[in-house]
Amino acid sequence: MESFLYQASIYLAAAVIAVPLSARLGLGSVLGYLAAGIFIGPILGLVGAETESLQHVAEFGVVMMLFLIGLELEPKALWDMRDKLLGLGGLQVMISTLVITAVAMFAGQPLSVALAVGLTLSLSSTAIVLQTLSEKGLMQTNGGRATFSVLLTQDIAVIPILAFLPLLASDAVLRIRDDGSISRGGEGGDAHHHTLSLVEGLPGWAVTLVTIGAVVFVVLAGIYLTRPLFRYIHTTRLREMYTALALMIVVGISFLMTLVGLSPALGAFLAGVVLASSEFRHELESDLEPFKGLLLGLFFITVGAGIDLGFFFADPLDLIGLALLVIFAKGVILYVVGRAFKLKGRDRWLFTLGLAQAGEFGFVLLAFSTQQNVIPPGLAQKLLMIIALTMLITPLLFIIYDILSRNMREHRQQVAPDEIDEKGPVIIAGIGRFGQIVNRLVRASGFKTIVLDHDIETIQLMRRFGVKGFLGDPTRPELLKAAGLEKAEVLVAAMDDHKQVTRLVSYARRARPDLHIIARARDRTHVYELYQAGANDIVREMFDGSLRAGRYVLENIGLSEYEAAQAEQTFYHHDRGSLRELADLWIPGMPTAENKKYIERARQMERDLETALLELAEEHAKQSA
């Protein structure tokens, strides 16, 4: 017990320290887990012989991950995405596998090993890429959606890859005995007897029937048995029983797949897809997510702990060179595939640089390939280091994308702005979700607007709906002049990029001190920046919707519509007044937590708001009495 508690403390402490630090540095949680493993393993030597056995337990986190991936993929959604999944994603995986396999064979590896290496390195890092896309707000771009489609294809591809890898092992070839039964491996076929306990000794046709039967059972059980099971568990009113049921589903299906010689991950994924449209989907996700996260984290820590730093320092230039070669080869393939599917400019570079690394599933496939005697341990160690290095380089690839993106945007804006041949009293800069509503209201009320946006696809879409817009960067002085800034009455700064909004407001105020400027703000800090830049009216993009939602809450917990509306208006006017006052106390560049005057005044204003709302409630109570 003492040894177990000691090891558990070491692993948990390493994760708690390294992962948040890695996330704050923008490197992602996976790299944090790897770093934690390297630190407690090869550097400090705090963990040792138990790492390999612990890794076998942690691999169950991969099974859970694939079950949860399946829960996210309803059959209809998969069908709707078939073009990108099979085309864009399938082509990337196939070409990357073939190219890397050819290179590995050229380097002297046999076909089976080279193919396993190609399959392993063809996958990218779902965890790092999706987190980075979300942080940078790139998920809804064409490049972001294409990248997500490929990652989804890769996640699904892990299932058949896991099922296929054992067939590449020299001792994993199926053999037919004279009596028609099946064995696997050497002369006696005992090497994998424990994985074929239900089919060992059966004729070939019976093995096929048993395997199909197991898959059919999983599908039918997911459709017809889960609902009665959840209802039965619901009668206990015990929260932990839901967790026990969720674990039982995944463990039971994995065990069944193992008995018939299939990958546990395949069964878990299949069950997840079947249950994706179930009303219990979210219950299963919430119950299994903590287990999946901890087990996967433990798996990555054990991978890091198993890295031989002496192996790296023995020939660091070779390993770094191979990592860069993998990134270059995958990058070229991705660029060509992106071009074939008509991704342009920044979207193509995001697609290319975002997916050029190897990924965390590579660790899973390497561990599995080593267990199945597909990839020799020495080569696996080298590949492990190469994958980790490509993931460490990924943040640099996104920095390169940012540089390319800025240069490409400037170039496009210089060569392809529209000639503005109209002028109007209202200029709307940015015709996204926010600007569209402003434009519709103003035009429907009989006033002319001049719409500017730097996104050609948005402009073209608006033109299909009969809304004329002009392509160009609204922050460029010459474009604003052409749009009639000198005589305009109102400017609406509604772009998605909050820095561009601030830049536009600042320039417009200098150019036209008398112009009325309405600006879209991302958050409270952005409000202060716009206030100092000279905006007249500042609209927080989420404020009005949130305020309305709060009013609906009040209406449904006892207040009348009139009372809830008055509370809403009281809050609205108080918040606007407090923002103006706090804007004078806000200091650019100083963290809010360190601005004592700001914090003291904000607390006082919050107390004033509570007092005002309580007085309003008392007044309503007197009127009702």
**pLDDT tens per residue across span 567-619:** 888 888 888 888 888 888 888 777 777 788 888 888 888 888 888 888 888 88
**pLDDT tens per residue across span 335-374:** 999 888 888 888 899 999 999 999 878 887 888 888 888 8
Instruction: Look at strands 182-184 and 174-176 and give their pairing.
Output: antiparallel
For residue 182, give the H/E element and its range: strand 182-184
What one-character DSSP code corresponds to residue 375?
S
For residue 294, give the H/E element and its range: helix 281-305
Structure tokens at 301: 């820590």
* 139 vs 318, residue with greater confidence: 318
Query: Of the given ranges (38-42, 175-179, 422-426, 545-549), which has the lowest mean pLDDT?
Result: 175-179
Task: Report how far residue 323's alpha carbon sits from residue 382's, in angstroms, rounded to the nearest whole number.
Answer: 10
CATH class of 426-624: alpha beta
Query: Of the given ranges (94-103, 169-178, 489-498, 601-610), which has the lowest mean pLDDT?
Result: 169-178
- Do 40 and 46 form a contact (C-beta atoms < 8 A)? yes
Instruction: Categorize the per-residue pLDDT at 116 as very low, low, confident or very high, splitting at 50, 70 and 90.
Output: very high
Torsion of CA 48, 49, 53, 56, to 10 degrees: 40
pLDDT at 194 over 80: no
Q: What angle do CA 416, 354, 351 make, to 5 degrees?
A: 45
Nearest residue to 117 (alpha-carbon basis) of 142, 137, 96: 96
pLDDT at 126 over 90: no
Taking CA atoms, 596 is separated from 309, 448, 605, in Å, by: 48, 47, 14
State the pLDDT at residue 427: 92
Instruction: Categorize the per-residue pLDDT at 192 as very low, low, confident or very high, splitting at 50, 70 and 90.
Output: very low
* 78 vs 24, residue with greater confidence: 24
Taking CA atoms, 227 is separated from 102, 234, 252, in Å, by: 49, 10, 17
Instruction: Categorize the per-residue pLDDT at 141 as very low, low, confident or very high, splitting at 50, 70 and 90.
Output: confident
- Do 538 and 531 form a contact (C-beta atoms < 8 A)? yes
Of the chain, the percentage scoring pLDDT greater than 70 comes to: 85
Query: Of the given ranges (53-67, 162-176, 468-482, 541-555), which has the lowest mean pLDDT?
Result: 162-176
Instruction: Categorize the per-residue pLDDT at 410 as very low, low, confident or very high, splitting at 50, 70 and 90.
Output: very low
Domain boundaries, the chain: 2-402, 426-624
- Do 524 and 592 form a contact (C-beta atoms < 8 A)? no
**pLDDT tens per residue across span 507-537:** 999 999 999 999 999 888 888 889 888 899 8
> Three-state SS for 403?
helix
**Averaged over 193-197, what is the pLDDT?**
43
Nearest residue to 247 (alpha-carbon basis) of 221, 283, 219, 211: 283
**Averaged over 284-298, what is the pLDDT?**
79
Kindly tell me the sign of the dihedral angle through the C-alpha atoms of 457, 461, 462, 464.
positive
DSSP H helices, 225-238, are: 226-234
Tell me, what amino acid is at 520? R
Taking CA atoms, 447 is separated from 430, 462, 511, 536, in Å, by: 18, 18, 24, 20
Tell me, what amino acid is at 138? L
Nearest residue to 485 (alpha-carbon basis) of 442, 447, 505, 515: 515
Query: Of the given ranges (97-101, 108-112, 461-465, 528-532), which has the lowest mean pLDDT?
Result: 461-465
Instruction: Categorize the per-residue pLDDT at 322 as very low, low, confident or very high, splitting at 50, 70 and 90.
Output: very high
> Three-state SS for 490?
strand
Mean pLDDT computed over every residue of the chain: 80
Nearest residue to 254 (alpha-carbon basis) of 232, 237, 271: 271
pLDDT at 173 over 80: no
Of the chain, the percentage scoring pLDDT greater than 90 comes to: 14
- Spell out a b/e string for 188-217, using b for 16 or more CB atoms within 10 Å of the CB, else e: ebeebeebbebbbbbeeeebeeebeebbee
Structure tokens at 370: 């080593």
Instruction: Categorize the per-residue pLDDT at 47 as very low, low, confident or very high, splitting at 50, 70 and 90.
Output: confident
State the pLDDT at residue 362: 87
Tell me, what amino acid is at 315? D
Show the beta-strand stretches assigned E in 365-523: 426-429, 449-453, 470-471, 490-493, 516-521
State the pLDDT at residue 153: 84
State the pLDDT at residue 170: 53
* Most confidently predicted of 23-32, 114-123, 296-305, 565-574: 114-123
Query: Of the given ranges (87-101, 267-281, 570-584, 602-616), which has the lowest mean pLDDT?
Result: 267-281
Q: What is the number of residues in the chain?
A: 625
> Three-state SS for 413?
helix
- Do 351 and 336 form a contact (C-beta atoms < 8 A)? no
**Averaged over 255-272, what is the pLDDT?**
76
What pTM did the predictor assign? Answer: 0.55
Task: Report how far residue 199's alpha carbon sits from residue 89's, in angstroms, rounded to the nearest whole number.
Answer: 35
Q: List residues bridging with 148 in a β-sheet.
A: none
Neighbours of 307 (CB within 10 A): 19
> Three-state SS for 261?
coil
State the pLDDT at residue 421: 57
* 234 vs 379, residue with greater confidence: 379
Q: What CATH code is assigned to 2-402? A: 1.20.1530.20
Task: State residue 105 phi and psi, 5-degree precision.
Answer: -65, -40
State the pLDDT at residue 196: 44
